[in-house]
């Protein structure tokens, strides 16, 4: 029986890495492409702030083809949806029938993804869906995956938190209100080693920066801040 042709919406972080691992262990799916959205102005992965060059080094180590979705510096939902629709239509024309994600429990996000995919007659696959986040993190570490914090909400963390490698001790020290996988956007990661990698991705830490964005929860009348660390080729 032929496997289902699937592309993976690759964020470069830990949840995506574990979800990809699950799919590669599953005889039903064949993941043959990674798809990542990047801010074309900054040349960085959206939200994570990872340099395009480091994303390419990472996917080379995964030995999977990478397709980039280029987003403008300033976008809105109309522009975003149009660009994403063009991308999904192109992937459908390449013979893909399923699109995989590393989402865990955000119901509204999954509903949005499934609605957009349905317009291109694509089906969403969510290997981590509704799994306990503590269990996910424990398995991630037990399997030998390695990741570091590249972005963190200033609401919970200071600049010393970004750049740290995820360990059991680090997870145990998280504030009680922070999800251990950062599923609510508390932090984002860069996965650089693990069982799905053909070799470790070498890197060095660069400059740490603070950025503020409009807070969507208060009608853009307030700002939410994030700390970033630049990840550079070794």
Q: CATH number, domain at 225?
A: 3.90.1490
End position of a domain, from candidates 125, 149, 172: 125
Indicate the DSSP class of residue 25.
T
Tokens 């920066």 belong to residue = 209
pLDDT score for 223: 75
Question: Residue 116: which domain range?
Answer: 4-125
Question: What's the structural domain count of the chain?
Answer: 2
Same domain, 10 and 107: yes
Do 13 and 102 contact (CB within 8 A), yes or no? yes
Q: What is the pLDDT of residue 25?
A: 96
Same domain, 147 and 186: yes
Distance in angstroms (rounded) separating the CA atoms of residues 225 and 42: 18
Q: Are residues 111 and 195 in the same domain?
A: no
Q: Provide the H-helix boundaries in 63-208.
A: 77-93, 107-118, 133-142, 168-172
45, 11 Cβ separation under 8 angstroms = yes
**Are 33 and 57 contained in the same domain?**
yes
Mean pLDDT by 10 residues, the chain (234 residues): 93 97 96 94 87 96 96 87 93 96 96 95 97 97 98 96 98 96 96 98 97 68 86 93
Q: pTM score, two decimals?
A: 0.93
Same domain, 83 and 147: no
Q: Are residues 15 and 119 in the same domain?
A: yes
pLDDT digits (tens, 9 = 90+) for 79-107: 999 999 999 999 999 999 999 999 999 99
From 125, 143, 175, the end of a domain falls on: 125
Structure tokens at 211: 């950025």
- Asked if 147 contacts 166 with a C-beta cutoff of 8 angstroms, the reply is yes
């Amino acid at each position: 029986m032929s496997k289902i042709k699937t592309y993976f919406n690759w964020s470069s972080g830990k949840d995506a890495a574990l979800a990809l691992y699950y799919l590669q262990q599953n005889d039903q799916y064949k993941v043959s492409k990674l798809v990542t959205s990047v801010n074309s102005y900054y040349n960085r992965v959206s939200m994570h702030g990872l340099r395009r060059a480091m994303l390419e080094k990472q996917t080379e180590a995964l030995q999977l083809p990478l397709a980039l979705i280029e987003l403008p510096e300033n976008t809105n939902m109309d522009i975003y949806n149009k660009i994403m629709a063009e991308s999904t239509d192109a992937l459908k024309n390449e013979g893909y029938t399923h699109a995989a994600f590393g989402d865990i429990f955000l119901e509204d996000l999954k509903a949005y993804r499934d609605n957009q995919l349905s317009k291109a007659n694509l089906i969403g696959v969510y290997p981590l869906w509704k799994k306990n986040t503590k269990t996910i993190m424990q398995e991630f570490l037990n399997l030998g995956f390695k990741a570091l914090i590249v972005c963190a909400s200033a609401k919970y963390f200071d600049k010393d938190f970004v750049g740290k490698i995820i360990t059991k001790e680090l997870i145990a020290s998280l504030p009680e209100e922070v999800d251990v996988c950062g599923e609510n956007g508390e932090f984002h990661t860069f996965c650089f080693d693990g069982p799905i990698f053909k070799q470790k991705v070498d890197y060095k830490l660069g400059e740490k920066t603070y950025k503020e964005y409009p807070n969507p929860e208060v009608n853009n009348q307030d700002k939410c801040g994030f700390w970033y660390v630049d990840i550079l080729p070794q």
